[in-house]
Structure 1
Protein backbone atom coordinates (compact mmCIF):
# COMPACT_ATOMS: atom_id res chain seq x y z
CA UNK A 1 0.00 0.00 0.00
CA UNK A 2 1.40 3.37 -0.96
CA UNK A 3 1.64 6.38 1.28
CA UNK A 4 -0.93 9.14 0.66
CA UNK A 5 0.61 12.41 -0.49
CA UNK A 6 -0.17 16.10 -0.27
CA UNK A 7 1.45 18.23 -2.99
CA UNK A 8 2.43 21.68 -1.78
CA UNK A 9 1.02 24.67 -3.64
CA UNK A 10 4.26 25.13 -5.59
CA UNK A 11 3.55 21.86 -7.41
CA UNK A 12 1.25 21.78 -10.40
CA UNK A 13 -2.06 19.94 -10.03
CA UNK A 14 -1.25 18.02 -13.22
CA UNK A 15 1.29 16.04 -11.20
CA UNK A 16 -1.44 15.09 -8.74
CA UNK A 17 -3.83 14.17 -11.54
CA UNK A 18 -1.14 12.04 -13.20
CA UNK A 19 -0.74 10.07 -9.97
CA UNK A 20 -4.42 9.81 -9.04
CA UNK A 21 -5.15 8.51 -12.55
CA UNK A 22 -2.75 5.68 -11.71
CA UNK A 23 -4.68 4.92 -8.52
CA UNK A 24 -2.55 6.73 -5.93
CA UNK A 25 -4.05 8.78 -3.10
CA UNK A 26 -2.77 12.28 -3.84
CA UNK A 27 -4.24 15.65 -2.92
CA UNK A 28 -3.05 19.05 -4.10
CA UNK A 29 -2.99 22.18 -1.96
CA UNK A 30 -3.93 24.25 -5.03
CA UNK A 31 -7.22 22.35 -5.26
CA UNK A 32 -8.05 22.65 -1.55
CA UNK A 33 -9.43 26.13 -0.76
CA UNK A 34 -9.10 25.52 2.98
CA UNK A 35 -5.34 24.86 2.57
CA UNK A 36 -4.45 27.38 -0.12
CA UNK A 37 -2.30 30.19 1.20
CA UNK A 38 -1.79 28.73 4.67
CA UNK A 39 1.60 29.17 6.37
CA UNK A 40 4.03 26.29 5.92
CA UNK A 41 3.67 25.02 9.47
CA UNK A 42 -0.11 24.74 9.03
CA UNK A 43 0.31 22.90 5.71
CA UNK A 44 2.63 20.38 7.38
CA UNK A 45 0.20 20.04 10.31
CA UNK A 46 -2.71 19.42 7.90
CA UNK A 47 -0.72 16.79 6.00
CA UNK A 48 0.24 15.14 9.28
CA UNK A 49 -3.34 15.12 10.53
CA UNK A 50 -4.37 13.22 7.38
CA UNK A 51 -1.34 10.91 7.46
CA UNK A 52 -0.06 12.34 4.17
CA UNK A 53 3.59 12.85 3.32
CA UNK A 54 4.08 16.40 2.09
CA UNK A 55 5.81 16.91 -1.26
CA UNK A 56 7.40 20.35 -1.63
CA UNK A 57 9.87 22.43 -3.59
CA UNK A 58 10.44 24.61 -0.55
CA UNK A 59 13.39 22.69 0.81
CA UNK A 60 14.78 25.37 3.12
CA UNK A 61 11.59 26.12 5.04
CA UNK A 62 10.45 22.53 5.42
CA UNK A 63 13.86 21.25 6.55
CA UNK A 64 13.69 23.95 9.22
CA UNK A 65 10.16 22.86 10.17
CA UNK A 66 11.30 19.24 10.39
CA UNK A 67 14.05 20.30 12.80
CA UNK A 68 11.50 22.22 14.88
CA UNK A 69 9.21 19.19 14.98
CA UNK A 70 12.05 16.94 16.11
CA UNK A 71 13.25 19.40 18.76
CA UNK A 72 9.71 19.61 20.15
CA UNK A 73 9.27 15.81 20.08
CA UNK A 74 6.55 16.11 17.44
CA UNK A 75 5.99 13.81 14.51
CA UNK A 76 4.92 14.38 10.91
CA UNK A 77 3.85 11.98 8.16
CA UNK A 78 6.98 12.48 6.06
CA UNK A 79 8.53 15.03 3.73
CA UNK A 80 9.50 14.58 0.10
CA UNK A 81 11.78 17.42 -0.97
CA UNK A 82 12.00 18.29 -4.66
CA UNK A 83 15.24 19.99 -5.63
CA UNK A 84 15.31 22.19 -8.71
CA UNK A 85 18.92 21.07 -9.19
CA UNK A 86 17.65 17.55 -9.84
CA UNK A 87 14.36 18.63 -11.42
CA UNK A 88 14.93 21.90 -13.31
CA UNK A 89 11.85 24.06 -13.75
CA UNK A 90 11.52 23.49 -17.48
CA UNK A 91 9.02 21.88 -19.86
CA UNK A 92 9.92 18.40 -18.55
CA UNK A 93 9.41 19.25 -14.86
CA UNK A 94 5.82 18.01 -14.44
CA UNK A 95 6.40 14.68 -16.17
CA UNK A 96 9.74 14.09 -14.47
CA UNK A 97 8.44 14.80 -10.98
CA UNK A 98 5.32 12.70 -11.61
CA UNK A 99 7.41 9.74 -12.76
CA UNK A 100 9.79 10.06 -9.82
CA UNK A 101 6.90 10.21 -7.35
CA UNK A 102 5.35 7.15 -8.98
CA UNK A 103 8.64 5.26 -8.48
CA UNK A 104 8.66 6.34 -4.84
CA UNK A 105 5.06 5.24 -4.36
CA UNK A 106 5.71 1.83 -5.91
CA UNK A 107 8.22 1.16 -3.13
CA UNK A 108 6.90 3.27 -0.24
CA UNK A 109 9.12 1.65 2.40
CA UNK A 110 11.46 4.65 2.14
CA UNK A 111 8.68 7.03 3.05
CA UNK A 112 7.08 6.94 6.45
CA UNK A 113 6.51 8.92 9.61
CA UNK A 114 9.23 11.53 10.17
CA UNK A 115 11.12 10.45 7.02
CA UNK A 116 12.70 13.29 5.07
CA UNK A 117 14.02 12.47 1.64
CA UNK A 118 15.00 14.16 -1.57
CA UNK A 119 13.10 12.96 -4.58
CA UNK A 120 15.35 11.15 -7.06
CA UNK A 121 14.94 10.51 -10.73
Structure 2
Protein backbone atom coordinates (compact mmCIF):
# COMPACT_ATOMS: atom_id res chain seq x y z
CA UNK A 1 0.00 0.00 0.00
CA UNK A 2 1.37 3.38 -0.92
CA UNK A 3 0.86 6.24 1.51
CA UNK A 4 -0.88 8.24 -1.23
CA UNK A 5 -3.60 5.59 -1.29
CA UNK A 6 -4.15 5.71 2.47
CA UNK A 7 -7.84 6.03 3.36
CA UNK A 8 -7.79 6.06 7.13
CA UNK A 9 -5.31 6.57 9.95
CA UNK A 10 -6.27 5.12 13.34
CA UNK A 11 -5.21 7.32 16.25
CA UNK A 12 -2.94 5.88 18.92
CA UNK A 13 -5.77 4.65 21.16
CA UNK A 14 -6.79 2.03 18.59
CA UNK A 15 -5.31 -1.43 18.30
CA UNK A 16 -3.23 -2.29 15.24
CA UNK A 17 -5.40 -5.43 15.08
CA UNK A 18 -8.25 -3.23 13.82
CA UNK A 19 -6.04 -1.89 11.03
CA UNK A 20 -4.92 -5.41 10.14
CA UNK A 21 -8.52 -6.63 9.99
CA UNK A 22 -9.52 -3.72 7.75
CA UNK A 23 -6.55 -4.27 5.42
CA UNK A 24 -7.60 -7.92 5.15
CA UNK A 25 -10.93 -6.59 3.85
CA UNK A 26 -9.16 -4.52 1.20
CA UNK A 27 -9.04 -1.12 2.90
CA UNK A 28 -5.96 1.12 3.02
CA UNK A 29 -5.76 1.65 6.77
CA UNK A 30 -2.82 2.23 9.11
CA UNK A 31 -2.80 2.37 12.89
CA UNK A 32 -0.60 5.10 14.28
CA UNK A 33 1.07 2.59 16.60
CA UNK A 34 2.27 0.63 13.56
CA UNK A 35 4.45 3.59 12.60
CA UNK A 36 7.33 3.77 15.11
CA UNK A 37 8.23 7.29 13.99
CA UNK A 38 4.69 8.45 14.84
CA UNK A 39 4.51 7.16 18.42
CA UNK A 40 4.08 9.88 21.04
CA UNK A 41 3.87 12.56 18.33
CA UNK A 42 1.79 15.64 19.27
CA UNK A 43 -1.77 15.74 17.93
CA UNK A 44 -1.09 18.66 15.58
CA UNK A 45 1.67 16.63 13.91
CA UNK A 46 -0.61 13.60 13.62
CA UNK A 47 -3.23 15.83 11.97
CA UNK A 48 -0.63 17.30 9.59
CA UNK A 49 0.62 13.79 8.71
CA UNK A 50 -2.92 12.66 7.84
CA UNK A 51 -3.64 15.90 5.97
CA UNK A 52 -0.48 15.53 3.87
CA UNK A 53 -1.76 12.11 2.80
CA UNK A 54 -5.32 13.35 2.27
CA UNK A 55 -6.74 10.67 4.49
CA UNK A 56 -9.22 10.59 7.32
CA UNK A 57 -8.17 10.26 10.95
CA UNK A 58 -10.19 8.13 13.35
CA UNK A 59 -9.99 9.46 16.90
CA UNK A 60 -11.89 9.74 20.15
CA UNK A 61 -10.04 12.96 20.90
CA UNK A 62 -12.66 15.50 19.82
CA UNK A 63 -11.61 18.25 22.23
CA UNK A 64 -8.05 18.42 20.87
CA UNK A 65 -8.57 17.69 17.17
CA UNK A 66 -11.47 20.09 16.50
CA UNK A 67 -9.37 23.15 17.43
CA UNK A 68 -6.47 21.81 15.35
CA UNK A 69 -8.84 21.45 12.38
CA UNK A 70 -10.18 24.99 12.89
CA UNK A 71 -6.67 26.45 13.03
CA UNK A 72 -5.76 24.60 9.82
CA UNK A 73 -8.90 25.94 8.11
CA UNK A 74 -8.11 29.50 9.21
CA UNK A 75 -4.57 29.15 7.89
CA UNK A 76 -5.79 27.63 4.59
CA UNK A 77 -3.60 24.62 5.36
CA UNK A 78 -4.22 21.05 4.25
CA UNK A 79 -7.03 19.37 6.13
CA UNK A 80 -7.45 15.80 7.28
CA UNK A 81 -10.98 14.51 7.56
CA UNK A 82 -11.81 13.71 11.17
CA UNK A 83 -13.85 10.62 11.95
CA UNK A 84 -14.89 10.74 15.58
CA UNK A 85 -16.04 7.94 17.82
CA UNK A 86 -16.26 7.26 21.51
CA UNK A 87 -15.25 4.47 23.85
CA UNK A 88 -18.91 4.25 24.90
CA UNK A 89 -20.04 3.38 21.39
CA UNK A 90 -17.02 1.17 20.69
CA UNK A 91 -15.35 0.06 23.93
CA UNK A 92 -11.63 -0.38 23.39
CA UNK A 93 -10.47 -3.95 23.84
CA UNK A 94 -8.07 -6.09 21.86
CA UNK A 95 -10.54 -8.96 22.23
CA UNK A 96 -13.57 -6.96 21.09
CA UNK A 97 -12.49 -5.14 17.94
CA UNK A 98 -15.27 -6.72 15.85
CA UNK A 99 -17.92 -4.00 16.26
CA UNK A 100 -15.40 -1.24 15.51
CA UNK A 101 -14.02 -3.09 12.47
CA UNK A 102 -17.55 -3.77 11.18
CA UNK A 103 -18.54 -0.12 11.53
CA UNK A 104 -15.34 1.11 9.87
CA UNK A 105 -15.72 -1.42 7.06
CA UNK A 106 -19.25 -0.16 6.40
CA UNK A 107 -18.11 3.48 6.58
CA UNK A 108 -15.20 2.87 4.20
CA UNK A 109 -17.39 0.92 1.75
CA UNK A 110 -19.92 3.75 1.68
CA UNK A 111 -17.10 6.19 1.18
CA UNK A 112 -16.16 9.11 3.38
CA UNK A 113 -18.35 12.19 3.04
CA UNK A 114 -17.42 14.41 0.14
CA UNK A 115 -15.96 17.87 0.80
CA UNK A 116 -16.87 20.34 2.12
CA UNK A 117 -17.71 17.84 4.90
CA UNK A 118 -14.49 17.20 6.77
CA UNK A 119 -15.90 15.71 9.94
CA UNK A 120 -18.07 12.68 10.62
CA UNK A 121 -19.15 10.46 13.52
CA UNK A 122 -18.80 6.70 13.26
CA UNK A 123 -22.07 4.87 13.87
CA UNK A 124 -22.59 1.25 14.87
CA UNK A 125 -22.96 -1.05 11.86
- What is the TM-score normalised by the length of structure 1? 0.86
How far apart are 1:84 and its partner, in Å? 2.1
Aligned-pair CA distance for 1:46: 0.6
The secondary structure found in structure 1 opposite 2:90 is coil
Gapped runs of 5+ residues in structure 1?
A: none
Give the unaligned 5+ runs of structure 2: none
The SS at the match of 1:110 is coil
1:18 maps to what in 2? 21
After TM superposition, give the deviation of residue 22 of structure 1 in Å: 0.5
Select the residue among 2, 6, 11 that pairs with 1:8.
11
Q: Is the 8 A contact 1:7 1:56 kept in 2?
A: yes
Which has the larger displacement, 105-114 or 7-16?
105-114
8 Å contact from structure 2 (residues 57, 80) kept in 1: yes
Tell me how far 1:110 sits from its aligned partner: 1.7
SS at match of 1:79: strand
- Post-superposition CA distance 1:2-31 (Å, at most 9, x none): 971111111111110110001100111101
Tell me, in whole angstroms, the C-alpha distance in 1 between the residues paired with 2:63 and 2:96.
Answer: 20
Conserved? CA contact 1:3–1:112, under 8 Å: no
Q: Give the match's secondary structure for 2:36.
A: coil
Q: CA deviation at 1:58?
A: 1.2
User: C-alpha displacement at 1:111, in angstroms?
Assistant: 5.5
| 8 Å contact kept, 1:75–1:114 | no
TM-score by length of 2: 0.84
Residue of structure 2 equivalent to 1:65: 68
